[in-house]
A and B are shown apart, each in its own frame.
Chain A
Amino acid sequence: MTPAERQTSTAPCFRTRGLTKVYGSGENAVHALRGVDLDLPEGELVVLLGPSGSGKSTLLNILGGLDAASDGEVWFRDHELSAANPAALTLYRRRHVGFVFQFYNLMPSLTARENVQLVTEIADNPMKAEEALGMVGLENRLDHFPAQLSGGEQQRVAIARAIAKRPSVLLCDEPTGALDSATGIRVLQALKQVNETLGATTLVITHNAGVAAMAHRVITFSDGRIGEVRTNEHRVDPSELSW
């Protein structure tokens, strides 16, 4: 089933209407999102591009249930996130969302395996921690603490942690931002593999326009609005990317 077929056969994974986000008020108000209408089909790998301050992280955080919109609607499948209370959002994150951040955010007191287990313990239908780490090529680093891993390895642990619960969506905010090119490519390969094997709708924010070539869909943001949406006819494998 191609993404295009999925789009027609099922409702979109995410749907937003008139989404706005305003920080502060009065003179100091910052309009981070100014009316975003978006439909993201299930299972796609989407890359979000855009200048700094254009609202990419804000959108990702709202889709991930970390932040609330000021106005407008957000739907995840048939749940209206914009109407959910904090407890429901916690549950949503727990069941459906995998996060990967620029700064890994691993628990320094837990080993790679335990960091993944941290999430599998509270998930409904997780894979084994070893399996998740295997998917990102870290089967030899199971018992290492974050302090004993390189930046790229730490980021792959974070991805393993995000995918181990078989999330419906994988949200990545500049996952390669702190990594060199070669390491970044390994991380992107891991993301692609996860997207393909688990079918998780994957959103990747990046400042590297080259990365867009690996996506099903590329959304360009500017000034709190969606500027352009395009779909790639031909997707490029991460190993062929460079920056």
Chain B
Amino acid sequence: MTWLLRLLSPLDRKLARDLWAMKGQALAIACVIAGGVSVFLISAGMLDSLTETRRAYYERYRFADIWAPVVRAPDALAADIRRIEGVQAAETRIRAPLLFDIPGMSEPASGEAISLPDGREPLVNQLYLMEGRLPRPGQRGEAVVIDSFAAAHGLEIGDTLSATIRGGRSELTVVGRALSPEHVYTIAPGQIVPDPRLYGVIWMSRDALGEAVDQDGAFNEAIVRLMPGQDAAPVIDRLDRLLDPYGAPGAYGRDDQISDAFVSSEIEQLSTMGRILPPIFLAVAAFLVNVVLSRLVATERAEIGLMKAFGYRDRDVMAHYLKFAGLIGVLGLAIGGGAGVWLGRLMAGLYTDYYHFPFLVFTANPRVYLLALAITVAAVGGGAILAARRAAALHPAVAMQPPPPPDYSRTAGMGLTRLTLLDQPSRMILRRLVQWPGRAGFTLAGVAMSGALLVGTLYFTDAMEAMVSSYFDQSNRQDVTVSFVEPRQRSAFHEVARLPGVLAAEPFRSVAVRLYHGPAEERAAMMGVTRGAALSRMIGADGRGVETPPGGLVLSGDLAATLGVEAGDRIRVEITEGRRPVLELPVAAVVTTLIGSGVQMELGDLNALLGEGEVVSGAHLVADGDAVDRLYTALKSAPGVAGVSLQSVAERNFRALMDESMGVAIWLYTGFAGLIAIGVIYNSVRISLSESAHEFATLRVLGFTRAEVSYILLGEIGILTLIALPAGGLLGTGLAWYFAEAMSSDLFRLPFIIHPATYGFAAAVILVTTALSGLIVRARLDHLDLVAVLKARE
């Protein structure tokens, strides 16, 4: 160490010693910088990685731009579709829901089968084959299975798999394991969390699937890739007109494709986080650098004066202090860079549990690293330059005199601090606060900010909890939802209701609709529910079901907002099934739904509008927990059942998702907020210790005990912390509100709910941090060298 020091110039040696003497503070600041850098790296890097991976994956595997489902259309139409202007490639295919029968598993797993063109790769939505091969044309019983499902059930090449498609049972041989750009987020329709065990996708040859679903020579979905730069809307229009005679509910683009919608929503959230959090960290870091350097300049007046007297120029002096800040910045960058990349990889690992890309490597591109560097330099430099300028501006002669004793006569002599009932130590605390409002304000702001960050990030847990409880405990109280292959007579519902283990049942009818209001147009799912539905229904803000008046609609809040309608307005509804009626219907109520969106109407009304008699699409069931296995077995072999979804399992999955990936992210951010608290509080206490070491030592000499002196030192930070707590709570509430607004997407809306416990926890973290910083600094107080302090004047 000493030989290293000898290599340095005298000024740099001084720098090294100063830094070493302030290592605790320097480290605390570096950690705050590191917090900002790593949050930035994680969010910007994840954003980069996800965006780039998605782009490359979609490009390479020719992800579709438009999906156009139909009931049944002749293959010959494919040529017409390819001729539409702006279409680069198109495929027609068959897509059918199915039920799996997995030996040894009582729950019914559902999924879908998708056809692959015979004897060639599809032009759109190609598979990423991880193992095995595609089905051979003519080989009826071969299937490629989506990797997540295969992994969940230990399916290997050559294994057999039983599936019921359209009531017919097929024994399939697994020939390949694959990923698909359509199923990055592999989720069952109507679900919110993927469950690889209960939902799977298989690909079969066109012949084989066509035969199973009785679609020979026909297709039920066209998928289209657009020319680069081509706008989707006109092509969707042309497709709708072309396919209208074949029962098309309407083509849709990527924003309505469920997997991509989830990925986009994730990317959107990452970028929001990345916009908000790093600036807060770096602002605090700049603040800290400024305060610590100012303090250093103040204590080194004499040295600075000496340097200048010896002929060092202003810019040498400035450079000296900027170097000091620079070293702290470099340390922060190094810690933050390392932690950011490490945590980024961890995050990427978590993402791959839910988002199935062929590869997802955490790689921020150089631009991100450069940006992190630039932002840090700007923040730290900004904080340092003011203090360094002050150092440079000191006049040599002035700098050589000791600073005059701080004059308390004007600021501290007044009001509150004159109260005779105060003891002198308390008076000292109060006067010091009033004397240095800047320093007090800085501590206040820093502590409040970290409190706000804590509340803001912990808010997510509250919001998620509220979402889960609203969705599962109020809106969807069924255990099982059964959907039929096609709408069936009411009697089919009664059959399901009579299955063993069913305690209660409720029918529903679901149709795809398009809603119009003025120039606005939205695709939506319309649910027909029975009057007084108790299992699955829309819930109003008061937590109660909304009665649908005869002939009226209940609209989810987000739909109402995009359409610009309120309760009482009339909207045009185009039902894209059956007779395809187009109707003007009144909006009876608008309710806030947290997850998903849609429109609801009375089942009988919907049946009547469609002119189809008493028809239902499926049933919601409450199952007897003890007889649930018998219910599952019965459902697996029930005719006409296309899909079964298990709400209770979904809720468990959602909670697992919250605990795992979101949990990790939330705790990560909470940890970073804690870092800020440590940085600010520790630095504040440390600075007030070194600024007043003389006074504290004098008090000790006068016979004050350690506890009594600690009271003065820590009382100051204690008072500030107590004032900062409510301020932080308020700021945090604002931040949470902003998060609620900014993070809500088409898929879900974060409710603005903060539990008292969240405030309590945030406050506890701050208080514990304060207590710990206090203890660390107090240990220094105990070792004050009384004799040394008395020898020197200040």
Report the separation of the CA atoms of residues A61 and B700 in the bound assembly, to the nearest whole angstrom. 13
Q: Are B431 and A109 in contact (CB under 8 A)?
A: yes
Query: Could you list 25 A-B pairs, sorted by A, with CB under 8 Å?
Result: A57-B787, A57-B791, A61-B787, A90-B700, A90-B705, A99-B701, A103-B792, A103-B793, A105-B701, A105-B790, A107-B424, A108-B408, A109-B431, A110-B427, A117-B424, A118-B425, A118-B699, A119-B703, A121-B423, A122-B703, A144-B409, A145-B413, A147-B404, A147-B405, A148-B407
B702 at the interface (CB under 8 A from A): yes
Which B residue's beta carbon lies closest to that of A103?
A: B793
Q: Are B703 and A95 in contact (CB under 8 A)?
A: yes
B490 to chain A, nearest CB (A): 85
Top 4 A-B pairs ranked by shortest CB distance? A94-B703, A147-B407, A93-B703, A118-B424
Q: Which of B680-732 contact A (CB under 8 A)?
A: 694-695, 698-706, 708
CB neighbours (8 Å) of A148 from chain B are: 407, 409
CB neighbours (8 Å) of A101 from chain B are: 790
Q: A90-B704, A147-B406, A173-B790 are in contact. List 12 more A-B contacts (CB 8 A).
A: A94-B704, A97-B703, A103-B793, A105-B694, A105-B698, A107-B424, A107-B695, A108-B695, A110-B424, A118-B699, A121-B424, A147-B404
Q: Are B428 and A66 in contact (CB under 8 A)?
A: no
B455 at the interface (CB under 8 A from A): no
CB neighbours (8 Å) of A92 from chain B are: 703
Query: If A101-B790, A114-B424, A117-B424 touch, does A108 touch B703 (CB 8 Å cutoff)?
Result: no
Q: Are B786 and A66 in contact (CB under 8 A)?
A: yes
Q: Are A87 and B705 in contact (CB under 8 A)?
A: yes
Report the separation of the CA atoms of residues A33 and B703 in the bound assembly, to the nearest whole angstrom. 25
CB neighbours (8 Å) of B702 from chain A are: 93-94, 99, 118-119, 161
CB neighbours (8 Å) of A90 from chain B are: 700, 703-706
B412 at the interface (CB under 8 A from A): yes
A67 at the interface (CB under 8 A from B): yes
CB neighbours (8 Å) of A110 from chain B are: 408, 424, 427-428, 431
A198 at the interface (CB under 8 A from B): no
Q: Are A107 and B698 in contact (CB under 8 A)?
A: yes
Report the separation of the CA atoms of residues A93 and B705 in the bound assembly, to the nearest whole angstrom. 10
A238 at the interface (CB under 8 A from B): no
Report the separation of the CA atoms of residues A92 and B427 in the bound assembly, to the nearest whole angstrom. 25
Q: Are B703 and A114 in contact (CB under 8 A)?
A: no
Task: Write the B382-404 contact mask toward A (1 if CB under 8 angstroms, else 0).
Answer: 00000000000000000000001
Report the separation of the CA atoms of residues A22 and B708 in the bound assembly, to the nearest whole angstrom. 31
Report the separation of the CA atoms of residues A91 and B708 in the bound assembly, to the nearest whole angstrom. 12
Interface residues, chain B, with chain A CB atoms under 8 Å away: 404-409, 412-413, 423-425, 427-428, 431-432, 435, 694-695, 698-706, 708, 786-787, 790-793
CB neighbours (8 Å) of A91 from chain B are: 703
B410 to chain A, nearest CB (A): 9
Most central of A91, A93, A107, A146 by chain B CB within 10 Å:
A107
**Partner among A95, A117, A147 whose Cβ is within 8 Å of the Cβ of B408:** A147
CB neighbours (8 Å) of A87 from chain B are: 705
Q: Are B790 and A109 in contact (CB under 8 A)?
A: no
Most central of A66, A109, A144 by chain B CB within 10 Å:
A109
**Partner among B404, B428, B704, B790 whose Cβ is within 8 Å of the Cβ of A122:** B704
Report the separation of the CA atoms of residues A95 and B698 in the bound assembly, to the nearest whole angstrom. 16
Q: Are B408 and A109 in contact (CB under 8 A)?
A: yes
Task: Write the A180-198 contact mask toward B (1 if CB under 8 angstroms, else 0).
Answer: 0000000000000000000
CB neighbours (8 Å) of B428 from chain A are: 107, 109-110
Q: Are B424 and A145 in contact (CB under 8 A)?
A: no
Which B residue's beta carbon lies closest to that of A120?
A: B424
Report the separation of the CA atoms of residues A91 and B701 in the bound assembly, to the nearest whole angstrom. 10
Task: Write the A217-241 contact mask toward B (1 if CB under 8 angstroms, else 0).
Answer: 0000000000000000000000000
Report the separation of the CA atoms of residues A10 and B787 in the bound assembly, to the nearest whole angstrom. 31
CB neighbours (8 Å) of A64 from chain B are: 701
Report the separation of the CA atoms of residues A110 and B418 in the bound assembly, to the nearest whole angstrom. 10
Most central of B408, B694, B792 by chain A CB within 10 Å:
B408
Task: Write the A104-135 contact mask toward B (1 if CB under 8 angstroms, else 0).
Answer: 01011111001101110110000000000000
CB neighbours (8 Å) of A119 from chain B are: 702-703
Q: Are B424 and A108 in contact (CB under 8 A)?
A: no
Report the separation of the CA atoms of residues A113 and B706 in the bound assembly, to the nearest whole angstrom. 24
Report the separation of the CA atoms of residues A105 and B409 in the bound assembly, to the nearest whole angstrom. 17
Q: Which of A65-86 contact B (CB under 8 A)?
A: 66-67
Which A residue's beta carbon lies closest to that of B793?
A: A103
Report the separation of the CA atoms of residues A90 and B791 in the bound assembly, to the nearest whole angstrom. 19
**Partner among B406, B700, B792, B793 whose Cβ is within 8 Å of the Cβ of A108:** B406
CB neighbours (8 Å) of B427 from chain A are: 109-110, 114
Which B residue's beta carbon lies closest to that of A158?
A: B698
CB neighbours (8 Å) of B708 from chain A are: 122
CB neighbours (8 Å) of A107 from chain B are: 424, 428, 695, 698-699
Query: If A99-B702, A117-B424, A147-B404 touch, does A109 touch B786 (CB 8 Å cutoff)?
Result: no
Q: Are A93 and B701 in contact (CB under 8 A)?
A: yes
Q: Are A108 and B405 in contact (CB under 8 A)?
A: yes
A48 to chain B, nearest CB (A): 16
CB neighbours (8 Å) of A144 from chain B are: 409
Report the separation of the CA atoms of residues A109 and B407 in the bound assembly, to the nearest whole angstrom. 8
Q: Are B409 and A109 in contact (CB under 8 A)?
A: no
Which A residue's beta carbon lies closest to that of B790?
A: A101
Report the separation of the CA atoms of residues A115 and B787 in the bound assembly, to the nearest whole angstrom. 21
Report the separation of the CA atoms of residues A115 and B695 in the bound assembly, to the nearest whole angstrom. 12
Which A residue's beta carbon lies closest to that of B428?
A: A109
Task: Write the A23-55 contact mask toward B (1 if CB under 8 angstroms, else 0).
Answer: 000000000000000000000000000000000
Q: Are A146 and B405 in contact (CB under 8 A)?
A: yes
Which B residue's beta carbon lies closest to that of A109?
A: B431
A131 to chain B, nearest CB (A): 17
Q: Are A147 and B695 in contact (CB under 8 A)?
A: no
Most central of B405, B694, B786, B793 by chain A CB within 10 Å:
B405
Which A residue's beta carbon lies closest to that of B701?
A: A99
Q: Are A147 and B409 in contact (CB under 8 A)?
A: yes
Report the separation of the CA atoms of residues A119 and B699 in the bound assembly, to the nearest whole angstrom. 9
CB neighbours (8 Å) of B706 from chain A are: 90
Q: Are B703 and A109 in contact (CB under 8 A)?
A: no
A132 to chain B, nearest CB (A): 14
Report the separation of the CA atoms of residues A105 and B699 in the bound assembly, to the nearest whole angstrom. 9
Q: Which of A130-159 contact B (CB under 8 A)?
A: 143-148
Report the separation of the CA atoms of residues A101 and B700 in the bound assembly, to the nearest whole angstrom. 14
Report the separation of the CA atoms of residues A11 and B62 in the bound assembly, to the nearest whole angstrom. 103
Which A residue's beta carbon lies closest to that of B413?
A: A145
A124 to chain B, nearest CB (A): 11
A37 to chain B, nearest CB (A): 23
CB neighbours (8 Å) of B786 from chain A are: 66-67
Which A residue's beta carbon lies closest to that of B694?
A: A105
Which A residue's beta carbon lies closest to that of B704?
A: A122
Report the separation of the CA atoms of residues A66 and B698 in the bound assembly, to the nearest whole angstrom. 11
Which A residue's beta carbon lies closest to that of B430?
A: A109
CB neighbours (8 Å) of A105 from chain B are: 694-695, 698, 701, 790
B764 to chain A, nearest CB (A): 32
Report the separation of the CA atoms of residues A122 and B702 in the bound assembly, to the nearest whole angstrom. 10
B794 to chain A, nearest CB (A): 8
Which B residue's beta carbon lies closest to that of A161?
A: B702
B440 to chain A, nearest CB (A): 14
Query: If A87-B705, A148-B409 touch, does A109 touch B404 (CB 8 Å cutoff)?
Result: no
CB neighbours (8 Å) of B787 from chain A are: 57, 61, 66-67
CB neighbours (8 Å) of B409 from chain A are: 144-145, 147-148
Q: Are B435 and A109 in contact (CB under 8 A)?
A: yes
Which B residue's beta carbon lies closest to that of A105?
A: B698
CB neighbours (8 Å) of A111 from chain B are: 413
CB neighbours (8 Å) of A145 from chain B are: 407-409, 412-413
Report the separation of the CA atoms of residues A107 and B790 in the bound assembly, to the nearest whole angstrom. 13
B432 to chain A, nearest CB (A): 6
A171 to chain B, nearest CB (A): 10
B790 to chain A, nearest CB (A): 6
Q: Are B432 and A109 in contact (CB under 8 A)?
A: yes
Report the separation of the CA atoms of residues A101 and B697 in the bound assembly, to the nearest whole angstrom. 13
Report the separation of the CA atoms of residues A66 and B786 in the bound assembly, to the nearest whole angstrom. 7
